[in-house]
A and B are shown apart, each in its own frame.
Chain A
């Protein structure tokens, strides 16, 4: 019974992973491309180059920092939206659908629209100017980092909302009744009774949001283009540039292996947490 799924997994995940691992040990570039896996073997040279001579360490730092901030922002926003959309009220179905819009829009569309909003003399600048603040650059320079955080958080929070909402539906109605009889206030009720139900779905939501953010290529690529401004030089874009603009496939594969390590950290933490509970 497991055979078809297992075979698919080997083909779709296993083979590319092994090949990526092998390419990362080869001097595969535009000159040796035709030799493919027979390109000169260079051992760990690509890894050394990635760490020592490329922007990889900086990119890991930028990616992890921005993904962490995005995850942090989406938690209260998603949770508040879920609590608001949980209770029965007129038009709840519509509100629930509208809240999902940022999540279902293709990243390319989100990037293009926000690029227009954030460009010099754009909507964002005039809004900031009206508040009496200095209008400046959003798509390059230090503020570009915050632009990336804001836009990614804008598109990512509905996932948390969705999972929290699903969690809320699992709360036994008797729990609500018991709390009402005992005269528990809303905060106590939320903290002591509801949150325990949500811990699982929220932990999953946080891990997925972090991973999505770390792996998001389209949004930073469309928002900032290449070469990336240094403040938003994230891992996927760096890896892409090494492969498809610089043709350093070996080096780029080594970078991809490093990103695998970055995304493995929250996955392992999550799996451990799940096992513990």
Chain B
């Protein structure tokens, strides 16, 4: 069996990994060393990203003498495959940029360096970061693996012209208020809301936010709480927009996030909730360019007019990228210097100016606060809350979306079938609890 295992590791290692961590000792004197970094390919700014790689590499070489070799992954699945093969073979990139919601799963593999107080000092101290961005770095302060790199909070775009015509100066701060505004804004082929019901990720973010605002974080103390009435209310609200309130285009049952953005861009919707700043690139080229603005999404849960006691006014999931250092890396100190460089003010400024992604560095974030165009994003970033830190989160996420997917065929009847919805939620609760029970 050992021989087979050796053969497999060898096969995986040689066939799937193009980069291997160099085999030399630690220390920040990196002359002659190479640091491998895996980061998501930026499909909106591919040219700029290539230039950024070169610039960062040159800067790091100047600081430490070491070369940085960037590799990119195209999709989250691609990323996962790379992590899996690297974890298994014990060789691969030294530093990974991971999506925030994937960080708990990555943590559960125990394949990444848990940052000690000394490590944080090497990174420039925990105080260097916006406190809210540290919310999904680890299960607690003593066991953190993720260093916040960029912040991509979710906000809502709204069509200023349509709102002004209907007599509104800004979007409501409660989900019920938003629904009422959306009803008034729905006329002809223009709908109040653009929502991507067929997206693989968007639906759970709505359900999570509305539940949390009502005081239910979905997971607490290892127990799943999807069967809580707050979650059912969230589903009824979310599905009701289409089925009973009729404030969403019926075709939205087949929309992915990009199609919702496109509909809003054509002026066919007044509100576009659950988008990040990256939607700006598309919208500025669309027919609503100059006629739209961003605001935070409602923070008052369905059925309420103010935040209930125990409720958390989350504006968004804590979204963005964390940097993690692989525990198999032979260049840990060099990796930490690299992460420090990327999270320093200068690098964060360049990154923001190049890609439009918000900083996690507190000093630079403060500078941006003054910019009115960014007000909504900055506010959302500071009020974003991390999703439950459990290795089972991927499964729970999928179970949450599954409820929406299986509910969609029934929506055309014009009602949200309570019995069916409760059945699906019960199933999701059991899946979620099953996944949590397997946590080790």
Contact = CB atoms under 8 A, between A and B. Distances in A.
Contact of B254 (A53, A139, A227, A246): A139
A32 B398 contact: no
- The DSSP consensus for interface residues of chain B is helix
B74 interface: no
A119 B110 CA distance: 42
B109 A225 contact: no
Interface string B404-416: 0110110010000
B253 A137 contact: yes
Contact of A33 (B5, B84, B395): B84
B405 A227 contact: yes
Contacts of B111: 33-34
Contact of B391 (A30, A140, A230, A245): A30
A161 to B, nearest CB: 32
A37 B1 contact: yes
A191 B78 CA distance: 52
A241 interface: yes
Interface stretch (B142-150, B171-179, B225-233, B432-440): B432-440
Interface in A132-178: 136-137, 139-142
A204 to B, nearest CB: 32
Contact of B394 (A34, A37, A122, A245): A245
Contacts of A53: 434
Contacts of B244: none
Interface in B83-134: 84, 87-88, 105, 108-111
Contact of B4 (A18, A31, A136): A18
B198 A139 contact: yes
A119 B108 contact: no
A31 B439 contact: yes
B398 A226 contact: yes
B408 to A, nearest CB: 5
Given A31-B391, A229-B409, A241-B398, A140 B253 contact: yes
B373 interface: no
A19 interface: yes
Contacts of B84: 33
B5 A36 contact: yes
Interface string B248-260: 0011111000000
Nearest to A144: B409
A120 B439 contact: no
B91 to A, nearest CB: 13
Contacts of B405: 140, 227-229
Interface residues of B, number: 39
A34 B112 CA distance: 11
Given A33-B87, A226-B200, A244 B77 contact: yes
Contacts of A245: 394-395, 398
Nearest to A38: B5
Contacts of A29: 438
B88 A36 contact: yes
B395 A246 contact: yes
A139 B252 CA distance: 12
Interface string B176-217: 000000000000000000000010100000000000000000
A136 B4 CA distance: 52
Given A31-B439, A120-B254, A246 B8 contact: no
B253 A120 contact: yes
A246 B435 contact: yes
Contacts of A19: 4, 8
B41 interface: no
A68 interface: no
Interface in A205-229: 225-229
A15 interface: yes
A159 to B, nearest CB: 29
Interface string B1-27: 100110110000000000000000000
Contact of A247 (B105, B408, B409, B434): B105
A8 to B, nearest CB: 13
A120 to B, nearest CB: 4
A121 B412 CA distance: 14
Interface string B390-406: 01001100100110011
18 contacts: A18-B4, A30-B391, A31-B440, A32-B440, A37-B1, A37-B5, A53-B434, A120-B250, A137-B253, A139-B198, A140-B254, A140-B405, A140-B409, A142-B409, A227-B405, A227-B406, A230-B406, A244-B81
Interface of B: 1, 4-5, 7-8, 77, 80-81, 84, 87-88, 105, 108-111, 198, 200, 250-254, 391, 394-395, 398, 401-402, 405-406, 408-409, 412, 434-435, 438-440
Please name the 7 residue pairs, one residue from A and one from B, whose CB atoms are nearest each other, closest first. A141-B409, A120-B251, A31-B440, A227-B402, A120-B254, A119-B254, A121-B251
